[in-house]
Amino acid sequence: MRPRSLARRLLPALLASLASLASARPPADCDRLTLVLDPRLTPEILQRDWGTGADHDEADAVLELRGCRGELLDRLELAAPMATLDPVRLRGTPSPTWLATADLTAPAGTTSGPLTVPVEVVAHRLRVARARGPGSAMAPIQLAATGKSAWKRVPAGKGDDLLEVRSERDGEGFATTWRRYHVTPHGWRWTQRRGPGLWESDADFPPLAQFP
């Protein structure tokens, strides 16, 4: 039998097999992450009060994960009424990851401010990303923006790193920590270095060379 004739005879069976496989395939992943704020918090109020420590009695913000048909799959409460969700995913993460920020600014002082966490979508559930440092246990990644701390998202090859600078009391003076969060095949890892001195938020963010 000629090869062309054999192919013509096998083609219907091949198409039927492909159709069967296509129908058995799970639907495309269409989970959608949204930030839900109390309806009393208008964009104008958010812009006016963000980072000021103004008192708000609205319900805390919530992250909702919804499926293909709009069904609620999971939710994660944030720790304040005012919050934002960065629409741009972090690059290079093993699971889809977004940055969510809750405004924890207190009315006075320099030790509070907006707090940002990377939120992962894993098996249709939400969780705060965790990282491990040299000789340390896994702990949630928490990035604060206060009078003596700040953070920055920077490209690192095909992924994104998170850089954090933080100063705190050390005896009679201050010490500063420069920390880098980096995604590896085994999850998030952090490295840091620490030295004497004070960094404050009215200064420029430290140059990349200062981070390990």
62-66 and 32-36: which strand pairing? antiparallel
Rounded to 5°, the CA angle 126-128-129 comes to 115
Question: Is pLDDT larger for residue 127 or for residue 8?
Answer: 127
Q: Give the global pTM.
A: 0.84
Radius of gyration of the chain (CA): 24
- The reported pLDDT for the residue numbered 135 is 86
pLDDT of residue 11: 42
134-144 per-position pLDDT tens digit: 988 899 999 99
The answer to whether the CB of 49 falls within 8 A of the CB of 42 is no
pLDDT tens track for 67-113: 999 999 999 999 999 999 999 999 999 999 999 999 999 987 677 99
- Which among 39, 41, 40, 58 is positioned nearest to 49, based on CA atoms? 41
| Residue 146 clears pLDDT 90, i.e. is over it | yes
